[in-house]
């Protein structure tokens, strides 16, 4: 018996998110099905990040146990032959038998992309959120700085009763503009439900002039979801990197 | 009666190219249908570049005549309401009544993207060609320089009996690499059938070490299609800019 970790990239457009659901195709469901067929035994993966419907990833992680003889590092090649075009393994490796991807200290980076022009660009539509409302990226960057550090992020998350603490640390949050494309890049030790999308929605309120950057600390301190901006649409969000703290 | 020019962006993934075909959905077909419905008269557009199935564009051009009262610059907004997500007008403007987009001197730029890594990236798959064979982008750039200038490009085109001359001018051709993504960018006064895709396929032969950059002039001089590389797949190609020579 060995424990294997997969690094998984996917285009979330056509999936109901990561987690297996009774009705609807999911990333986890695809991995379970094709791993079970490949290895000839029932496989159930444990995912690191349960991304939502429509969210993309370059490097989500999945762990599973197998009795198969196939070397861990060969599984990526064999599994990619079976997986659909929109899910591809980037790496497969053996890990310690007690390794659990949600029970170790991590550093995750997400990017949220906004295509900000007069008209939508069809070749960007699946991986960005379009808005024709002019966005001031410098003001958004000013606001972004206010999120950095250890804070209670309840105001920028969707309430889940089972979550014990809403305190998290954001190591870095930046907003850059290159022509019509605005990229919000955020690195933290973990993110609450919808947190990155609500931060993106809040930064867009700042970008369009409806909220001042100086309001961010007050908004966070209030813990009031109503004071933050709306949840930005899923397709702009991509999980871009995942590292374990040593 | 006025003549209107549209700047059209599209994701070519789900279309049988630009030109109307008896069986299959095309960009031209979509424009004709939605313009006719919008303006209440039968409209037939004339396209500037008849891109192939699977090829994308940020700025192809279409011209048509209409008796409708709607101001030319408003047509973009109204038409975008009707068009599918993968075709969006970027601009609509009135032009001279004798203007024909294929009968004026132009400068076109195409980009061909190659995703060159160990495994495919699902979020890049629709807009790049994947190869795991390591590519030497510096050698490709060395070969690219040999294409610049006025040449007979018969060796890097698919023969079409109706084409009178196979001489064209390439103003610029560059190959750049950013992490796993190689971008071939070519600007010219016109391109023969499949010319950009065959140039891309030839540069990939150089990139993988099967052809030397110094062979390019000899290959072009031969006029022999067999001496060039294969036609690179359509999805890596995007028409990115279109300007008229003054």
> How many structural domains comprise chain A?
2
Please check whether residue A13 lies inside any domain of the structure.
Answer: yes
- Tell whether the model's pLDDT for residue B245 goes beyond 80: no
Q: What's the CA gap between A19 and B216, in Å, rounded?
A: 52
Q: Across the interface, which of B11, B76, B121 has its CB nearest the CB of A123?
A: B11
**Same structural domain for residues B55 and B125?**
no
**Burial readout A111-149 (b: 16 or more C-beta within 10 A, e: otherwise):** bbbbbbeebbbbbbbbbbbbbeeebebebbbbbbebbbe
Please check whether residue A186 lies inside any domain of the structure.
Answer: yes
Question: What local confidence, expressed as pLDDT, does residue A121 receive?
Answer: 97
How would you write the pLDDT of chain A (246 residues) with one tens digit per residue?
A: 999 999 999 999 999 999 999 889 999 999 999 999 999 999 999 999 999 999 999 999 999 999 999 999 999 999 999 999 999 999 999 999 999 988 888 899 999 999 999 999 999 999 999 999 999 999 999 999 999 999 999 999 998 888 889 999 999 999 999 999 999 999 999 999 999 999 999 999 999 999 999 999 999 999 999 999 999 999 999 999 998 876
Give the CA count within 13 Å in the CB-facing half-sphere of B44. 2
pLDDT confidence band for B170 (50 / 70 / 90) = very high
Mutate to test the interface with A, among B123, B124, B127 (most CBs of A within 10 A): B123
The encoded tokens of residue A78 equal 């064999």
Please check whether residue B83 lies inside any domain of the structure.
Answer: yes
Query: What are the tens digits of pLDDT across the range B8-33?
Result: 999 999 999 999 998 899 999 999 99
Average pLDDT rounded to a whole number, residues B40-61: 96
Query: What are the tens digits of pLDDT across the range B98-110?
Result: 999 888 888 999 9
Please check whether residue B100 lies inside any domain of the structure.
Answer: no
Q: Quick check: B126 and A125 in contact, CB under 8 A?
A: no
Question: What local confidence, expressed as pLDDT, does residue B246 receive?
Answer: 63
Please check whether residue A100 lies inside any domain of the structure.
Answer: no
The continuous run of DSSP H or E covering A34 comes out as helix A27-39
- For residue B87, the chain A residues in CB contact (below 8 A) are 122
Q: Across the interface, which of B11, B80, B120 has its CB nearest the CB of A88?
A: B120
The continuous run of DSSP H or E covering A223 comes out as none
Identify the three-state secondary structure at position A58: strand
**Same structural domain for residues A149 and A216?**
yes
**Same structural domain for residues A15 and A115?**
no
**Same structural domain for residues B71 and B160?**
no
**Same structural domain for residues A51 and A135?**
no
Query: Which whole-number Å values give the CA distances from B173 to B100, B143, B148, in the listed order?
Result: 27, 10, 6
**Same structural domain for residues B234 and B120?**
yes
Chosen domain end from B58, B76, B95: B95
Please check whether residue A208 lies inside any domain of the structure.
Answer: yes
- Whether A10 has its CB under 8 Å from any CB of chain B: the answer is yes
Contact at CB, A76 and B10, closer than 8 angstroms: no
Q: What's the CA gap between A37 and B99, in Å, rounded?
A: 60
The interface residues of chain A toward chain B in range 31-60, judged by CB-CB distance below 8 A, are 56, 58
Contact at CB, B121 and A88, closer than 8 angstroms: yes
Query: Which single residue is written with the structure tokens 């929109």?
Result: A86
Q: What percent of chain B has a predicted confidence (pLDDT) above 90?
A: 92
**Same structural domain for residues B132 and B153?**
yes
**Same structural domain for residues A170 and A226?**
yes
Average pLDDT in chain B: 96
Q: What percent of chain B has a predicted confidence (pLDDT) above 70?
A: 100
Please check whether residue A226 lies inside any domain of the structure.
Answer: yes
Please check whether residue B101 lies inside any domain of the structure.
Answer: no
Chosen domain end from B49, B64, B95: B95
**Same structural domain for residues A175 and A236?**
yes
Q: Please count the helices (runs of H) and the strands (runs of E) in chain A.
A: 5, 10
**Same structural domain for residues B140 and B89?**
no
Residue B52 is among the residues annotated as catalytic for this protein:
yes
Q: What is the CATH number of the domain that holds A21?
A: 3.30.70.580
Q: What is the ipTM of this complex?
A: 0.92
What residue numbers bound the domain in which B207 lies? 106-244
**Same structural domain for residues B139 and B31?**
no
């Amino acid at each position: 018996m060995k424990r294997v970790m997969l690094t998984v990239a996917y285009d979330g457009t056509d999936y109901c998110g990561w987690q297996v659901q009774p009705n609807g195709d999911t990333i986890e469901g695809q991995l379970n099905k094709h791993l079970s067929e490949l290895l000839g035994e029932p496989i159930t993966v444990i995912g690191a990040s349960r991304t939502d419907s429509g969210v993309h990833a370059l490097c989500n992680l999945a762990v599973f146990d197998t009795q198969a003889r196939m070397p861990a590092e060969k599984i990526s090649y064999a599994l990619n032959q079976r997986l659909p075009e929109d899910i591809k393994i980037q790496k497969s490796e053996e890990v310690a038998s007690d390794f659990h991807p949600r029970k170790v200290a991590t550093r995750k980076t997400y990017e949220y992309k906004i295509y900000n022009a007069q008209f939508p660009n069809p070749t960007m539509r699946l991986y960005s959120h379009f808005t024709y409302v002019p966005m001031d990226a410098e003001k958004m960057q000013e606001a972004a700085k206010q999120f950095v550090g250890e804070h209670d992020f309840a105001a920028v998350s969707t309430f889940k009763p089972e979550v014990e603490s809403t305190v998290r640390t954001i190591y870095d949050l930046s907003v850059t503009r290159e022509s019509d494309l605005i990229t919000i890049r955020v690195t933290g030790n973990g993110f609450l439900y919808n947190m990155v999308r609500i931060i993106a929605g809040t930064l867009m309120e700042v970008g369009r002039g409806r909220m001042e950057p100086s309001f961010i600390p007050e908004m966070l301190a209030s813990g009031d979801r109503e004071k933050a901006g709306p949840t930005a649409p899923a397709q702009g969000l991509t999980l871009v990197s995942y590292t374990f703290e040593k």
